[in-house]
Structure 1
Amino acid sequence: MSRRWNPVHPNVTGMLHGGDYNPDQWLDYPHIIDEDFRLMKLASANTFSVNIFGWSAIEPEEGVYRFEWLDSIMDRVAEQGGHIILATPSGARPAWMSEKYPEVLRVEANRVRNLHGVRHNHCFTSPIYRQKTQEMNRKLAERYKEHPALIMWHISNEYGGWCHCDLCQEAFRGWLKNKYDHDLDKLNHAWWTGFWSHRYSSWSQIESPAPHGENQVHGMNLDWQRFVTDQTIDFYQNEIVPLRELTPHIPVTTNFMGNYPHMRPFTGLNYEKFAKHVDVVTWDCYPPWHNDWQSTASLAKDVGFVNDLYRSLKDGQPFLIMECTPSLVNWHEVNKAKRAGMHKLSSIQSIAHGSDSILYFQWRKGRGASEKFHGAVVDHVGHEHTRVFRDVAEVGQVLNQLAPVVGSSMDAKVAIVYDWETDWAIADAQGFGKETKQYAATCQEHYRVFWERGIPVDVITPDKPLDGYKLVIAPMLYMVREGYAAKVESFVHSGGYFVATYATGMVNETDLVNLEGSPGPLKKVLGIWAEEIDTLYPAESRELVMTGGARYEAKDYVELIHLETAEALASFTSDFYKDKPALTVNRLGEGKAFYIASRNETSFQDDLYERLLDELQIGAPFPVQAGKGVSVQVRTDGKTDYVFVMNFTEEQQTVGWPGRSGLANLLTGEHVGEQLELEPYGAVVLSQSRE
């Protein structure tokens, strides 16, 4: 639903631009800090995340505090009219704490405790670490609660990983007791522990998954990952207690991540659950642009999917890009620099999908340690006369022009369902091809059809309501939660179209196979039952033919299904599933439910969804004539549409919108006619009143 959201803080009037600033590393170089503030103005940088790993600079010895440097930085940012996103420094703790309180150090799955070093090397369960982080956060809140630069709390940094220490083992057992009502028989049944004689006769026998057994008891693995998410959220909630108490007017967030090298949602934590506890979703976006396995346009589609997922976590509220790089990173397999124009284009893409910021890691390159060659706004040379600085300054100017877009949202009638727990469970499942399960990539392939056509999409999790959508697509929804089928049935009865695929509804929430067969609780709404899946070798394919005669190639997976109340729209032409349904439709109430029984070539998705879009009268909110590789996204506040037209190719593209003229180009302030030329990696942002 289109609306205008309030900015993250009343003092914010436009896009946030800046990033992760680490002046604590430069306290012995005051002239460099002075230079930073000069360069901030040149780059139109107005927002800085400070203190993310600053614990040892604030508390060099236990109980000895040094806030003077942070006071100075925050005051100087305020004097320039800028903003501070102030971090709690729990992502890495000082050496004195590891030495005095070794329980704060993380224990790996092999049950060996880590030595001091790196970051995120802490136990989320440790009472001492929880006490120390809360003490630190209280001091920060007491000191800066009224500071004019403070607009948001940045809690820790990129939460992730797990600890297997004795404290965490006891916490895991306690979590399981609560989940299974202190009934060990319930747990044994849910985990199917009769397998390989894994049955437990005492809670004390249960341990977290060890390296040699992580693929054995899938129910245990699922519950461990759920516990890790809950324990991480609990640690986060412990951190924010003094912040909520002392600064209730300041929003809190923590930076979510993506999965790489391919652009996928991060699966180390369930962000569906975590998002409920942050005021604003933020994430760190590091696509591998210019790689050798994927076109730029294809990668842009995957980035769009993750952006739309994170925007949808809080019902369409604009998110923030908390980190990106103006050039390269230092942790990809190949650390490729961005080509000319790509930083501006990728920044505009983030805004197009719902971000109200472009913030970087990092402002200035460090002089030593592992991130000294990670991309930054200010290079080691220390001045503004670099390609990257010029690119950042240009983006700063672009963001100034895009200030009217802040708070606007997207109006989607199509939703793709992505489920973190299904992703976990399919990763464990051993009945498919090891390399071809590709759950997230399959969701992104269905998303592609709409991305290429400029049709807005919400990427939603199963907890979200379906009201307001006309078309909901749930590829490979391997695990169907209790109550979800009833929600889908109500949606279809009311006139919605629902699309499911092979490998749907195979297991319940503890990864036990549904005894009524697949697609489990969704059998009624889909009107079919699935007997088995044939996994194809990479060189194999099968053919399916539509009732109208169109033929398509199936690859990777072909499912043998049977009709109950559904009717076939396509069938397979060979093998033991010859003449068996390949695509079905089940009419229920005012709507329809479709089932796709194989993984098919892209033209199948194109043709199927074109048909459904036509039936549902869903079109692009701003049709654009353009070549392949041009993406169109629209943000709106209900009164004004902001149209982002982006060329993700290395070729000049002519783009047009016949019948529309006098549109305002937000980037230049000029009016444009019915077409224009987009340079390679070029973009234009148009403004059109709905009145």
Structure 2
Amino acid sequence: MSTHEKTYTTKANFMLHGGDYNPDQWLDRPDILADDIKLMQLSHTNTFSVGIFAWAALEPKEGVYNFEWLDKVIDDIYSIDGRVILATPSGARPAWMSQKYPEVLRVNDARVKQLHGGRHNHCFTSPVYREKTQKINRLLAERYGGHPALLMWHISNEYGGECHCDRCQGAFREYLKKKYNNDLKTLNDAWWGPFWSHTFTDWSQIESPSSIGESMVHGLNLDWRRFVTDQTIDFFENEIVPIKELTPDVPITTNFMADTHELIPFQALDYSKFAKHLDVISWDAYPAWHNDVESTADLAMRVGFIDDLYRCLKQQPFLLMESTPSMVNWHPVNKAKRPGMHLLSSIQMVAHGSDSILYFQWRKSRGSSEKFHGAVVDHDNSSDNRVFQDVAEVGKTLEKLSGVVGTNRPADVAILYDWESNWALNDAQGFGLKTKRYPQTLVQHYRAFWEKDIPVDVITKEQDFAAYKLLVIPMLYLVSEETISRLKSFVAGGGTLVTTYISGLVNEHDLTYLGGWHKNLQEIFGINPVETDTYYPEDKNTVSYQNRSYELKDYATIIKLNGATVEGTYKEDFYANTPAVTSHSYENGKAYYIGGRLEDQFHRDFYQEIINDLELQPAFSVKHEKGVSVQVRRAPESDYIFVMNFTEKKQPITIESLVKDVVTGEDVSGELILERYEVRILENKK
């Protein structure tokens, strides 16, 4: 697909604005439900996710159903020209089911069955749970599949976790039998079975990893994580059978996540595999704005990285399925967004490819764990408070952005993210146990382009490398022969490739390559990395590059040259004056190796050289200071330019072309002043 073509992923040609609506919590308050419909109009919202945790309200007793309340809610939303994203309720089963069918309860890695409570603690393998979810989903599809308000399906909610019950152990063994052609010798070879006498002689001896007696069989650990992803997807596929049968033209999604403690991609599931089973990617974003450990611009950059990763999983616009208009209730400190930040943070999502701004939640719960989580409607039930007015402002702005819907973002630069490599690296008992930080390292490289407004696709290993001029693969610890061959073809065909320390060390089974670095990697990069030195936190070194000195910490690779050109050298330690940064021309392309973890300024200067060589350009040029971000979405007739001030002060910008302000309708050019947290949305007609 050309990046200039439009893709209406939800078959809607307008920006979705609204969010999770839980009327099932207010069924005894018809006055509240009536107020909701009025407030939806005042807030300029148009789309609501309904039924996510409503199983107990839909089926209060086994086989006894109550859909009448949901009928009215959907009809009422449609009466104000609203749309519904209808959820399947499998994320939180009713108590009667746990009581009557205890097999649906999850077993933790200590082999202890969990009690009813919380949510997302069901067994993905349980035949009973699979049967019950299919049945309720069929009833929903039969009843609402033809409703004109139905925009898309929201399957379950935030899939995650794992079960270690006997059924799941059996499913794991069946997964392994299929993977290894029912041959235990092949499995033992892949897992390096003789180590510590871990050779298996019968399939029944294999169990999932446990925190009681930590597994040292890294191949087993890696395959278990793969199994958890595959079993989660298999459960999802079971859920959607009646939905695909009865509503084949209604798109489906499920909401992906980011790590809740540090804003990095969710680690427990391989979303690159899951994405293939969805029509639309959606995710739940909750950055801790105004925190005390990083600047607003640094946090915005990390948000942009995840946006670009999730957008690229299907190379089409994604949906922001959940966000907060104010604060959450589960950060260590739950700080409110400052004036201006809600519009700015919302528009950033649009700038990086979202066709929606949706919230958790529409109305605050009165009780339980989310009663203080941010919402559009607070406990005061008022449209006059600051948060509600901020939401209305976002809604009014989104109503002017229908031309952006369905558009993508062009990029000549790609950074490769790989879930399996990260799993294996984190499991590796080596290097620095606290300093591996694979996702954070990729973000460090991403920064060099984000600060220069150079668009970046964050891709996975299955995607087309040839679509890019520059491919960056930092710390790609696990890499298969197939991927190495594709990297070789990419460089041979004229691509520029950058990799770093701790790359290319193990194959897809987490077994090291023998005979030094893989021969194809040695050919591409013209080097052989022979040793990795790991630093204590207080250890430092210096690298000389382009007549400047840069600080190095955490890792340094000792490099043997095999045809490469030395671009930078270490200045200290027993490998002083040896190569630290190299380049190598291979056939029609070029490959760079960065041997150590270097400071941000090195990446700015290093990538600026490559940007110059490859003539990489921003999608639209705006002169600005650090902390202002310019992102572009490209439509067939226009470029939509988002200029965002992520700093705490006013910032001057200069626009050399004559463009139109989408919000005000005014023509704009020359020097402008952006207020703190201000965003300008511009249109450049072609």
Normalising TM by the smaller chain, what interval? over 0.9
Q: Counterpart of 1:95? A: 95
Give the AA of the match of 1:104: V
Are the counterparts in 1 of residues 466 and 495 from structure 2 also a CA contact under 8 Å? no
Alignment of 1:18-417 (within 5 A): 18-214=18-214, 216-315=216-315, 317-417=316-416
Output the CA distance in 2 between the equivalents of 1:58 and 1:361. Answer: 21
Q: Counterpart of 2:669? A: 673
Output the CA distance in 2 between the equivalents of 1:408 and 1:213. Answer: 50
Output the CA distance in 1 between the equivalents of 2:467 and 2:229. Answer: 30
- Partner SS state of residue 467, structure 2: coil
- Partner SS state of residue 119, structure 1: coil
Q: Counterpart of 1:516? A: 515
Output the CA distance in 2 between the equivalents of 1:81 and 1:616. Answer: 49
Give the AA of the match of 2:5: R
Q: Counterpart of 1:640? A: 638
Can you list the C-alpha shifts for 1:94-140, whole angstroms capped at 9, x where unaligned?
A: 01100110000000001000111110010000001000000111000
Are the counterparts in 1 of residues 9 and 317 from structure 2 also a CA contact under 8 Å? no
- Partner SS state of residue 48, structure 1: strand
Output the CA distance in 2 between the equivalents of 1:51 and 1:146. Answer: 17
Alignment of 1:488-499 (within 5 A): 488-499=487-498
Are the counterparts in 2 of residues 261 and 288 from structure 1 also a CA contact under 8 Å? no
| Alignment partner of 1:664 is 2:660 | yes
- Partner SS state of residue 639, structure 2: strand
Are the counterparts in 2 of residues 362 and 377 from structure 1 also a CA contact under 8 Å? yes
Alignment of 1:485-634 (within 5 A): 485-518=484-517, 521-546=520-545, 548-634=546-632
Are the counterparts in 2 of residues 111 and 164 from structure 1 also a CA contact under 8 Å? yes
- Partner SS state of residue 406, structure 2: coil
Can you list the C-alpha shifts for 1:34-71, whole angstroms capped at 9, x where unaligned?
A: 00000000011100000000000000000000000010
Alignment size in residue pairs: 685
Output the CA distance in 2 between the equivalents of 1:565 and 1:359. Answer: 53
- Partner SS state of residue 554, structure 1: strand
Output the CA distance in 1 between the equivalents of 2:309 and 2:396. Answer: 28
- Partner SS state of residue 449, structure 1: helix
Shift of 1:340: 1.0
Output the CA distance in 2 between the equivalents of 1:461 and 1:152. Answer: 26
Q: Counterpart of 1:458? A: 457
Give the AA of the match of 1:3: H
Output the CA distance in 1 between the equivalents of 2:518 and 2:345. Answer: 39
Q: Counterpart of 1:475? A: 474
- Partner SS state of residue 363, structure 2: coil
Q: Quick check: 357-366 or 476-485, which moved more?
A: 476-485
Output the CA distance in 2 between the equivalents of 1:183 and 1:41. Answer: 62
Output the CA distance in 1 between the equivalents of 2:109 and 2:6. Answer: 43
Are the counterparts in 1 of residues 7 and 317 from structure 2 also a CA contact under 8 Å? no
Give the AA of the match of 2:364: K
Shift of 1:521: 4.8
Output the CA distance in 1 between the equivalents of 2:242 and 2:44. Answer: 33
Q: Quick check: 580-589 or 469-478, which moved more?
A: 580-589
Shift of 1:519: 5.4
Output the CA distance in 1 between the equivalents of 2:331 and 2:196. Answer: 39
Are the counterparts in 1 of residues 488 and 520 from structure 2 also a CA contact under 8 Å? no
Q: 1:76 and 1:269, CA in 2 relative to 1: closer, same or farther beyond 3 A?
A: same
Output the CA distance in 2 between the equivalents of 1:520 and 1:36. Answer: 64
Shift of 1:494: 1.6
Shift of 1:520: 6.4
Q: Quick check: 423-432 or 350-359, which moved more?
A: 423-432
Can you list the C-alpha shifts for 1:352-400, whole angstroms capped at 9, x where unaligned?
A: 0000000000000001111111000000011111111011011001111
- Partner SS state of residue 56, structure 1: helix
Give the AA of the match of 1:615: D
Give the AA of the match of 2:498: V
- Partner SS state of residue 395, structure 2: helix
Q: 1:164 and 1:520, CA in 2 relative to 1: closer, same or farther beyond 3 A?
A: farther
Output the CA distance in 2 between the equivalents of 1:664 and 1:212. Answer: 62
Shift of 1:219: 1.0
Are the counterparts in 1 of residues 7 and 407 from structure 2 also a CA contact under 8 Å? no
Are the counterparts in 1 of residues 229 and 269 from structure 2 also a CA contact under 8 Å? yes
Identity of aligned residues (%): 57
- Partner SS state of residue 170, structure 1: helix
Give the AA of the match of 1:227: F
Output the CA distance in 1 between the equivalents of 2:430 and 2:637. Answer: 51
Output the CA distance in 1 between the equivalents of 2:536 and 2:117. Answer: 44
Give the AA of the match of 1:602: D
Are the counterparts in 2 of residues 505 and 521 from structure 1 also a CA contact under 8 Å? no
- Partner SS state of residue 264, structure 1: coil
- Partner SS state of residue 172, structure 1: helix
Q: Counterpart of 1:443? A: 442
Are the counterparts in 1 of residues 285 and 320 from structure 2 also a CA contact under 8 Å? yes
Output the CA distance in 2 between the equivalents of 1:605 and 1:118. Answer: 44
Output the CA distance in 2 between the equivalents of 1:664 and 1:112. Answer: 62
Shift of 1:280: 0.4
Can you list the C-alpha shifts for 1:543-575, whole angstroms capped at 9, x where unaligned?
A: 1223x4222221110011111132211111222
Q: 1:672 and 1:425, CA in 2 relative to 1: closer, same or farther beyond 3 A?
A: same
Q: Counterpart of 2:8? A: 7
- Partner SS state of residue 265, structure 1: coil
Output the CA distance in 2 between the equivalents of 1:303 and 1:560. Answer: 34
- Partner SS state of residue 531, structure 2: strand
Give the AA of the match of 1:459: V
Shift of 1:408: 0.9
Output the CA distance in 1 between the equivalents of 2:214 and 2:661. Answer: 54
Shift of 1:9: 3.7
Output the CA distance in 2 between the equivalents of 1:262 and 1:645. Answer: 26
- Partner SS state of residue 199, structure 2: coil
Output the CA distance in 2 between the equivalents of 1:149 and 1:126. Answer: 33
Are the counterparts in 2 of residues 214 and 221 from structure 1 also a CA contact under 8 Å? no
Q: Counterpart of 2:678? A: 682
Can you list the C-alpha shifts for 1:517-554, whole angstroms capped at 9, x where unaligned?
A: 235652221121111111112222111223x4222221
Q: Counterpart of 2:422? A: 423
Output the CA distance in 1 between the equivalents of 2:78 and 2:543. Answer: 64
